[in-house]
């Protein structure tokens, strides 16, 4: 089939150059710009100080030499880094993000006329051919470059201002010393000096430097820019501790207060946590209040679920009277900050039937045909104490604004980290709009998506703006399951937009592994959560190895703290406080453990062993864990000695950071025994 012949006007037909469109003149193709999420539909994620390695496929017709730059900006001005060519037309460069907020990056490439000319000149001269004509051609290229206006802040070979996409030819202006030098070289190329001398002048590295600073980019090609959201470091590296302030009391018949919960903060800080996460602290409704163990009828004194938000005392911008006042909350936040911790607040967009909005804005809720408001359901489960919002109501604009303002209210009270309850049951469009709107003024805000649902839904929430995500870690317990899952999170495109937060347990989830594995199960899950993920968390009671389910086959706790006040003795025998503090201390001391990008799994002979490492610069930490909490496991594990520069017969020392024990190993395969009654894991570093 012959291609269609384009129609041309009379003026186009009379001039070949007039017939060519600007697109046709741009011979360079730039495609497959990476990293990218859905071809740029959503931004990638990084935290302040992280590097972004950018690649693109760059090529053109013919055999011309190409050149290009990576361009990035957080404001209006572009900064540029030269691209480096690689294999198969792939070009690359990197940059580091320094400021919170939004940034964008792209690749611009062009035909390097000077580089092409030098390449052909050298080839012809080397073959003994006459290059008189080529030298004259080069003189013209160099003379033209000497007339390109450079801005004063131009930096050759690194950052260059490229606001002008086309060469700006100057006439009648004084020239810089470098311009004069270029004109001297052009004159030399036109001179009658012997050709070898003129060819040598063309190959002078100084000339290359001057010409690289003055490229002809008039027909360059620029890829569609990609976006990156730059988050605070806590979005990448954080240790969360979930606590119920109302349980900070010695009397289970009376709610603990913020003041009493404040007294618990130093102990949490001593454990090494930097985020204290609170469930909803708002007034709790009384209509259809749930009783202990989620019974449908509450008895007098039952406090109800904190997620049934709203009463005559207020809604999402009020605190439960039993906890104290907003001033008390502010003091709690200030004390946590003084101890080096941030407060994270649970935001649950649902309402008790007693919520003020039910009376003031009934149009924000879904109604049955009889006019009554629908309560929440996940058939066959029913939640009669909760009304969901209608994100598609006729008054959705007002509803969305009100919900956004809930975040802004708590930000005004010092909270910038939010764990969002069940975001997958709310509008995707709302989250994309609200999070972007909030982060315009508060780029330090962090949103954690609590969505235990289908993978695509969880990933889409991360794309819409959530900085961190709950994961399937709770249900990945064997070594093979963990290897497969962590490979997905850290070695596929998911890593560009979804940051995992590995919670070892939650008020809703007590996995069978913890129910049946006893203290060793808690120990190994702690080590794995803290070592595998830059961010992890535990729900209070984990350090006491609480593991009694509501019933066999249930993941609900017996006497769940969601429905009752639950004082505890935090120093009771068998607690994990010392181990938790040591694990968090190790995380703080080793940059390798503060990110996920370098996670690498290594070979073992025993399938119950999970053997992995993380690296940051010269810091490398190795972890081997026994995922079987019931039985002693032993076998050999392979140390990647070639990567470490260790010879096959060379001895070396590995030190366990948990207890300081040292072992002399030799070669790549070495023996390990992990008995759950003694230890469930080693956290190794190599010592000289």
Q: Which tokens is 212 given? A: 């690289």
Give every CB contact of residue 674 below 8 A, 6+ residues apart in sequence. 609, 624, 625, 626, 632, 633, 634, 680, 681, 682
Take residue 389 and report the two structure tokens written for it: 């919002």
Q: Is 218's pLDDT higher than 60? A: yes
Q: Are residues 585 and 604 in the same domain?
A: no
CA–CA distance, 183 with 323 (Å, rounded to integer): 79
143 CB burial (10 A radius; 0-12, 13-18, 19+): middle
Residue 374 within any structural domain of the chain? no
C-alpha span between 215 and 141 (Å, rounded): 10
Instruction: Say which of 80, 421, 543, 564 is annotated catalytic.
Output: 421
CA–CA–CA angle 255, 259, 264 (5° rounding): 90
Which of these is catalytic: 64, 260, 354, 450?
Answer: 450
CA dist., res. 414 & res. 105, Å (int):
32
Same domain, 208 and 269: no
Please, which contacts does 203-209 make with residues 24 or more away whose CB atoms are closer than 8 Å?
203/118, 203/122, 206/181, 207/142, 207/182, 208/114, 208/118, 209/156, 209/157
Residues 341 and 438 reside in one and the same domain:
yes
Q: Could you give the CA distance from residue 3 to residue 297 in angstroms, rounded to a whole number?
A: 76
Contacts of 583 (CB under 8 A, 6+ apart): 272, 526, 527, 530, 531, 658, 683
Element (H, E) at 514: helix 512-532
pLDDT in tens, 348-379: 999 999 999 999 999 999 999 999 999 998 88
Please say whether the beta carbons of 664 and 653 come within 8 A: yes
Q: How many domains does the chain have?
A: 3
Residues 581 and 628 occupy one common structural domain:
no
Of 589, 621, 648, the position where a domain reaches its end is 589
pLDDT tens sequence across 190-205:
999 999 999 999 999 9
Does the residue 682 lie in any domain?
yes
User: What are the tens digits of pLDDT across the range 563-595?
Assistant: 999 999 999 999 999 999 999 999 999 999 999
Q: Residue 24: its pLDDT value, please?
A: 55
Q: Is the predicted pLDDT of residue 152 greater than 60, yes or no?
A: no
**Does residue 110 surpass a pLDDT of 80?**
yes
CA angle centred on 462, ends 461 and 465, rounded to 5°: 90
Least Cα distance to 409 among 431, 368, 438, 374 occurs for 438
681-687 and 651-656 strand pairing: antiparallel
Strand 51-60 to 28-34 pairing: antiparallel
Q: Is 274 exposed, middle or buried (0-12, 13-18, 19+ CB in 10 A)?
A: buried
In a domain, 224, yes or no: no
Question: How many whole angstroms separate alpha carbon 320 and alpha carbon 280?
Answer: 9
| Whether 604 and 574 share a structural domain | no
- Domain for residue 219, yes or no? no
Same domain, 645 and 621: yes
* pLDDT per residue as tens digits for the range 425-442: 999 999 999 999 999 999
Q: Which whole number is the average pLDDT over 30-39?
A: 97
**One domain, residues 502 and 405:** yes
CATH number of 676's domain: 2.60.40.1180
Question: Any idea which residue has 């453990």 for tokens?
Answer: 593
Residue 534 within any structural domain of the chain: yes
CA dist 469 and 447 (Å) reads 8
Burial 561-581 (b: 16+ CB within 10 A, else e): bbbbbbeeeeeeeebbeebbe
Q: Name residue, tokens 């997620």.
A: 307
3-state secondary structure 378-425: ECCEEECCCEEECCCCCCHHHHHHHHHHHHHHHHCCCCCEEEEECHHH
In CATH, what number is assigned to the domain containing residue 188?
A: 1.20.58.80
Q: Return d(Cα 373, Cα 370) in angstroms, integer.
A: 9
**386 contacts: CB under 8 Å, gap ≥ 6:** 307, 308, 350, 351, 352, 375, 376
State the CB neighbour count (10 A cutoff) for residue 15. Answer: 10
The β-bridge relationship of strands 651-656 and 662-666 is antiparallel
Inside any domain, residue 359: no
> Do 312 and 437 sit in the same domain of this protein?
yes
Tokens of 679: 């230890």
Residues 543 and 611 in one domain: no
How many angstroms separate the CA atoms of 502 and 492, rounded? 18
Q: pLDDT tens digit string along 551-570?
A: 999 999 999 999 999 999 99
> Please, what sign has the CA dihedral across residues 62, 65, 70, 71?
negative
Exposure class string for 202-229: b at 16+ Cβ within 10 A, else e: beeeebeebbbbbbbbebbbbbebbebb
Give the mean model confidence (pLDDT) for residues 234-254. Answer: 97
- Cβ(535)–Cβ(501) below 8 Å: yes
pLDDT digits over 614-671, tens only? 999 999 999 999 999 999 999 999 999 999 999 999 999 999 999 999 999 999 999 9
Confidence of residue 175 (pLDDT cuts 50, 70, 90): low
Determine the Cα–Cα distance for residues 549 and 510; give it in Å rounded to an integer: 7
Q: For all residues of the chain together, what is the average pLDDT?
A: 93
Model confidence pLDDT, tens digit, residues 455-481: 999 999 999 999 999 999 999 999 999
pLDDT band at 177 (very low <50, low <70, confident <90, very high): confident
Which helix H or strand E contains 111, and what residues bound it?
strand 101-111
Averaged pLDDT, 80-90: 97
DSSP, residue by residue, 599-652: -EE--BSSTTEEEEEEEETTEEEEEEEE--SSS-EEEEEE--HHHHT--TT-EE
Helices (H) and strands (E) in the chain, counts: 19, 30
Q: Within this chain, do residues 210 and 117 fall inside the same structural domain, yes or no?
A: yes
> Would the pTM count as exceeding 0.85?
yes
**Is 450 a residue of the active site?**
yes
Residue 3 lies in a domain: no
**pLDDT value of residue 176:** 80
Instruction: Indicate the pLDDT class of residue 149, thresholds 50, 70 and 90.
Output: low
Using pLDDT thresholds of 50, 70 and 90, give the confidence band for residue 13: very low
Helices (H), 244-355: 258-262, 265-270, 326-338
Supply the range of the domain harboring residue 422.
239-349+396-589
Residue 38 bears catalytic tag: no
Largest CA distance in the chain: 107
The two structure tokens encoding residue 19? 């017939």
Residue 31 in contact with residue 55, Cβ under 8 Å?
no
Whether 415 is in a domain gets the answer: yes
> Of 540, 570, 589, which marks where a domain is finished?
589
Do 423 and 307 have their domain in common? yes
pLDDT above 90 for 160: no
| 604 and 575 assigned to the same domain | no
pLDDT for 370 equals 93
Of 529, 560, 589, which residue is a domain's last?
589
Give the helix/strand (H/E) hosting 239: strand 238-242
Range from 139-148, 235-244, 501-510 carrying the lowest mean pLDDT: 139-148
> Taking a C-beta distance cutoff of 8 angstroms, is the pair 290, 296 a contact?
yes
Helix locations, 295-325, DSSP H: none
pLDDT classification of 382: cutoffs 50, 70, 90: confident
Task: Work out the pLDDT band at 159, boundaries 50, 70, 90.
Answer: very low
**Paired tokens of 194:** 């012997």
Q: What values do phi and psi take at 37, rounded to 5?
A: -115, 115
Q: Name the least confident of 57-61, 165-169, 412-416, 640-644.
A: 165-169
The SS3 assignment for 241 reads strand
CATH code for the domain in which residue 434 is found? 3.20.20.80
Question: Reduced to 3 states, what is the DSSP secondary structure of residue 375?
Answer: coil
CA geometry: angle 606, 612, 618, nearest 5 deg: 145
């Amino acid at each position: 089939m012959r291609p269609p012949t384009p129609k041309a006007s009379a003026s186009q037909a009379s001039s070949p150059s007039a017939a060519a469109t600007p697109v046709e003149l741009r011979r360079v193709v730039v495609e497959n710009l990476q990293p990218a999420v859905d071809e740029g539909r959503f931004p990638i994620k990084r935290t302040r100080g992280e590097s972004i390695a950018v690649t693109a496929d760059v090529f053109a017709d013919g055999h011309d030499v190409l050149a290009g730059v990576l361009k990035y900006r957080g404001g209006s001005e572009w900064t540029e880094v030269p691209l480096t060519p690689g294999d198969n037309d792939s070009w690359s460069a990197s940059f580091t993000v320094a400021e919170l907020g939004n940034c964008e990056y792209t690749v611009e490439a062009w035909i390097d006329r000077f580089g092409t000319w030098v390449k052909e000149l050298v080839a012809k001269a080397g073959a003994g051919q006459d290059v008189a004509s080529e030298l004259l051609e080069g003189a013209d290229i160099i003379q033209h470059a000497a007339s390109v206006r450079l801005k004063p802040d131009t930096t050759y070979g690194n950052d260059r201002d490229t606001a002008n996409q086309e060469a700006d030819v100057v006439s009648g202006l004084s020239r810089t010393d470098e311009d004069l030098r270029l004109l001297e070289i052009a004159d030399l190329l036109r001179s009658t000096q012997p050709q070898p001398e003129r060819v040598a002048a063309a190959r002078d590295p100084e000339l290359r430097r001057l010409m690289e600073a003055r490229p002809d980019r008039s027909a360059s090609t620029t890829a569609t820019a990609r976006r990156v959201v730059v988050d605070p470091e806590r979005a990448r590296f954080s240790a969360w501790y979930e606590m119920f302030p109302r349980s900070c009391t010695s009397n289970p018949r009376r709610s603990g207060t913020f003041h009493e919960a404040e007294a618990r903060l130093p102990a949490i800080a001593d454990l090494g946590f930097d985020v204290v996460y609170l469930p909803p602290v708002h007034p709790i409704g009384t209509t259809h209040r749930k009783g202990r163990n989620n019974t449908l009828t509450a008895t007098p004194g039952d406090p109800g679920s904190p997620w049934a938000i709203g009463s005559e005392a207020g809604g999402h911008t009020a605190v439960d009277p039993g906890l104290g006042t907003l001033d008390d909350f502010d003091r709690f936040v200030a004390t946590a900050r003084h101890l080096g911790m941030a407060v994270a607040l649970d935001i649950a967009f649902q309402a008790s039937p007693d919520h003020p909005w039910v009376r003031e804005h009934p149009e924000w809720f879904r109604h049955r045909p009889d006019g009554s408001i629908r309560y929440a359901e996940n058939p066959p489960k029913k939640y009669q104490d909760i009304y969901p919002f209608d994100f598609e109501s006729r008054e959705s604009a007002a509803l969305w604004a009100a919900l956004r303002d809930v975040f802004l209210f708590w930000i005004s009270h010092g909270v910038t980290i939010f764990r969002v309850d069940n975001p997958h049951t709310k509008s995707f469009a709302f989250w994309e709009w609200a999070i972007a709107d909030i982060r315009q003024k508060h780029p330090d805000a962090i949103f954690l998506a609590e969505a235990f649902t289908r993978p695509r839904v969880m990933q889409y929430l991360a794309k819409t703006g959530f900085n961190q995500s709950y994961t399937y870690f709770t249900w990945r317990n064997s070594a093979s399951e963990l290897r497969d899952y962590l490979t997905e999170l850290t070695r596929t495109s998911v890593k560009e937009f979804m940051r995992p937060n590995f919670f070892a347990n939650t008020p809703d989830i007590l996995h069978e592994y913890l129910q049946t594995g006893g203290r060793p199960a808690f120990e190994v899950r702690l080590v794995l959560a803290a070592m595998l993920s830059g961010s992890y968390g535990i729900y209070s009671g984990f350090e006491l190895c609480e593991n009694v389910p509501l019933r066999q086959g249930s993941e609900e706790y017996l006497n769940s703290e969601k429905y009752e006040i639950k004082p505890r003795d935090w120093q009771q025998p068998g607690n994990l406080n010392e181990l938790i503090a040591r694990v968090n201390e190790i995380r703080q001391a080793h940059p390798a453990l503060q990110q996920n990008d370098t996670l690498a799994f290594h070979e073992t002979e025993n399938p119950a062993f999970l053997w992995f490492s993380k690296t940051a610069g010269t810091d490398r930490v190795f972890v081997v864990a026994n995922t079987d909490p019931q039985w002693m496991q032993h076998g050999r594990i392979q140390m990647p000695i070639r990567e470490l520069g260790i010879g096959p017969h060379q001895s070396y020392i590995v030190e366990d950071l948990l207890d300081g024990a040292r072992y002399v190993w030799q070669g790549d395969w070495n023996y390990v025994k992990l008995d759950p009654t003694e230890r469930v894991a080693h956290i190794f570093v190599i010592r000289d």
